[in-house]
């Protein structure tokens, strides 16, 4: 037990752990974290099994990384406690045995006589020290009075406060890791969903995307209402950087999109050789709609993509969820005969007015169809937007903030609140008082020296 204590009380252990943690953390930034086994196999070949076995691919959540953090926490606790007692005595303990000779050998010192009785001299010294915010401890030692004056005593404990803060942060981190819950809620306007792990629901009332004049996204705003037992209890506008919180859950704006699978399209059917012919049809992907007039009986939309791209193997897919290049695969039929089939593009209405059965015909640049009888234009498209809100519960987060506060205060104390100590020995000889004083500061010694000098100058020559 004692040897374990000694082991953890060692600063050398702390230094070794600092170095191990640093190197391990570096390693975790060199190996991408949390990817799929296939991706690692492609990247590292035969090494990928080893990397995954050693959990280098989820390094910061691995048992061995957490074990090092735990060792580090133990080390911090033991180091801090084992160094606390001497500091405590130094800051709050009683005045130690001392004498005129000993105080005169301190870093700052002063020695002179005061033409006053002992009690009056003591009062003057005490008053001067108090006016400089020193706390006094007085003791009588063999006919002389010893005054121990200390200030900024909390400065002794700066590093301890930092250590306590770090332990609180680590504890918060563990609690977040164990008890944290998070899930993404995809919500269309008007939709209500149950919040996982909670006894309430969230409804999306309204979702807007705001744009800058140049076209970039300025903001996403989700107006959301919390419902408990069917009754609305809270309505807030959620934006990035402005989450809504309710009963320990926070709701963040994380993503957005459109329900393209259910997009409503408006098509215009024209005949190039008959300018008066125009039919406007509204339908969804997968639906067919009748067209009045000669040459064609109905049109149907086989597919719709918001961001048309020809992927691997000539497969048509959507590059993104953004409506950058909306396209529909459209067919026109005359009874049992297909008279038109092509991909048509909302942004390029002249493109792809092809005939035939090859769906690629229209997509190939330069592929011109001969005298088309029919032209179909994708006039407009619309899909219900949805907002993705992340519902997160993090029971460790308050500990994190308390820890951060402690660390910040501790740094202030450690670096900018250095303790100062003055010792004064007063001895009465032949109706006069011999004063010997010594002082010490643990940082910023020049400033202390000047305070010390002016302090004792004012005691020697008051007024």
Partner 1 sequence: MTESTLFTLAFVLYVCALLVYSVALFAAREKWLKVGFILAAAGFLSHTAALIARTVTSGHAPFTNMYESLSFLSWAIVLALIVFGRSSRVPRLGAILMLIVVGLVALASSPLMPKGATPLVPALQSYWLWLHVSVTLLGEAFFCIAFVSSLLYLGADSVEKKERLDALSYRAVAVGFPLFTLGGLVFGMVWAYRAWGRYWSWDPKEVWSLITWFVFALYLHTRIVMGWKGKRSAIIAIVGFLAALFTYFGVNYLLSGLHSYA
Structure tokens at 462: 């008051």
- For partner 1, which is the closer residue by CB, 15 or 120? 15
Q: Site for partner 1 (CB under 8 A): which residue of 4, 5, 6, 15? A: 15
Q: Choose the stretch contacting partner 1; rule: CB under 8 A; options: 305-313, 348-356, 398-406, 453-461.
A: 398-406
Instruction: Using alpha carbons, select from 371, 340, 345 the residue that is nearest to residue 358.
Output: 340
- CA Rg value for the chain: 39
- When asked if residue 394 is in the footprint of partner 1 (CB under 8 A), the reply is yes
- Specify whether the CB–CB gap between 439 and 423 falls below 8 A: yes
Choose between 14 and 74: whose C-beta lies nearer to partner 1: 14
CA distance 167 to 170: 5
CB 307 within 8 A of CB 324: yes
Residue 283 CB coordination number (10 Å):
18
Q: Measure the CA–CA gap between 240 and 217, rounded to whole angstroms.
A: 12
Min dist. Cβ of residue 225 to partner 1 (A): 19
Smallest separation, CB 219 to partner 1 (Å): 5
CA distance 197 to 185: 13
Tokens in use for 162?
A: 């930092």
Based on CB atoms, which residue is closest to partner 1, 173 or 326? 173
Q: How far is the CB of 404 from partner 1 (least distance, A)?
A: 4
By CB under 8 A, name the one of 185, 400, 437, 455 that touches partner 1.
400
Burial 203-213 (b: 16+ CB within 10 A, else e): bbeebeeeeee
Does residue 36 belong to the site contacting partner 1 (CB under 8 A)? no
Q: Work out whether 173 is an interface residue with partner 1 (CB under 8 A).
A: yes
Pair type for strands 337-345 and 231-238: unpaired
- Window of 250-258, 292-300, 337-345, 361-369 that interacts with partner 1 by CB under 8 A: 250-258
**Shortest separation between residue 247's beta carbon and partner 1, angstroms:** 16
Query: Which residues are near partner 1 by CB under 8 A?
Result: 11-12, 14-15, 18-19, 21-22, 25-26, 28-29, 33, 60, 159, 173, 176, 182, 212, 214, 216-220, 239-243, 250, 252-254, 390, 392, 394, 397, 400-401, 404, 407-408, 411-412, 415
């Amino acid at each position: 037990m004692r040897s374990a204590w000694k082991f953890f009380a060692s600063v050398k252990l702390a230094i070794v752990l600092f170095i191990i943690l640093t190197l391990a953390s570096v390693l975790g930034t060199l190996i991408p974290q949390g990817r799929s086994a296939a991706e690692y196999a492609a990247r590292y070949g035969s090494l990928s099994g080893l990397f995954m076995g050693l959990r280098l691919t989820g390094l910061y959540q691995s048992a061995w990384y957490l074990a090092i953090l735990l060792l580090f926490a133990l080390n911090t606790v033991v180091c801090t406690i084992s160094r606390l007692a001497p500091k405590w005595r130094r800051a709050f303990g009683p005045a130690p045995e001392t004498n005129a000779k000993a105080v005169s050998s301190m870093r700052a010192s002063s020695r002179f006589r005061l033409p006053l009785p002992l009690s009056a001299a003591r009062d003057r010294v005490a008053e001067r020290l108090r006016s400089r915010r020193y706390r006094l401890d007085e003791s009588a030692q063999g006919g002389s009075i010893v005054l121990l004056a200390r200030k900024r005593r909390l400065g002794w404990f700066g590093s301890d406060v930092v250590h306590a803060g770090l332990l609180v942060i680590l504890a918060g981190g563990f609690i977040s890791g164990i008890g944290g819950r998070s899930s993404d809620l995809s919500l269309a306007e008007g939709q209500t969903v149950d919040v996982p792990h909670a006894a309430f629901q969230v409804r999306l009332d309204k979702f807007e995307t705001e744009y800058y004049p140049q076209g970039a996204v300025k903001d996403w705003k989700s107006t959301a209402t919390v419902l408990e037992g069917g009754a609305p209890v809270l309505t807030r506008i959620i934006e990035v950087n402005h989450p809504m919180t309710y009963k320990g859950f926070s709701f963040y704006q994380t993503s957005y999109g459109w329900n393209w699978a259910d997009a409503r399209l408006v098509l215009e059917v024209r005949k190039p050789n008959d300018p008066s012919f125009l039919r406007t049809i509204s339908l969804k992907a997968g639906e067919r709609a009748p067209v009045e007039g000669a040459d064609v009986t109905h049109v149907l939309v086989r597919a719709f993509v918001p961001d048309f791209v020809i992927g691997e193997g000539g497969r048509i897919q959507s590059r993104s969820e953004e409506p950058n290049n909306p396209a529909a695969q459209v067919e026109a039929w005359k009874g049992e005969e297909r008279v038109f089939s092509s991909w048509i593009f909302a942004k390029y209405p002249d493109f792809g007015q092809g005939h035939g059965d090859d769906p690629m015909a229209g997509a190939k640049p330069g592929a011109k169809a001969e005298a088309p009888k029919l032209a179909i234009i994708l006039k407009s498209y619309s899909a219900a937007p949805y907002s993705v809100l992340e519902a997160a519960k993090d029971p460790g987060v308050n500990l994190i903030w308390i820890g951060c506060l402690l660390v910040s205060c501790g740094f202030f104390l450690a670096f900018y609140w250095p303790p100062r100590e003055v010792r004064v020995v007063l001895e009465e000889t032949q109706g006069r008082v011999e004063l010997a004083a010594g002082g010490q500061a643990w940082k910023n010694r020049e400033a202390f020296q000047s305070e010390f000098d002016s302090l004792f100058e004012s005691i020697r020559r008051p007024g």
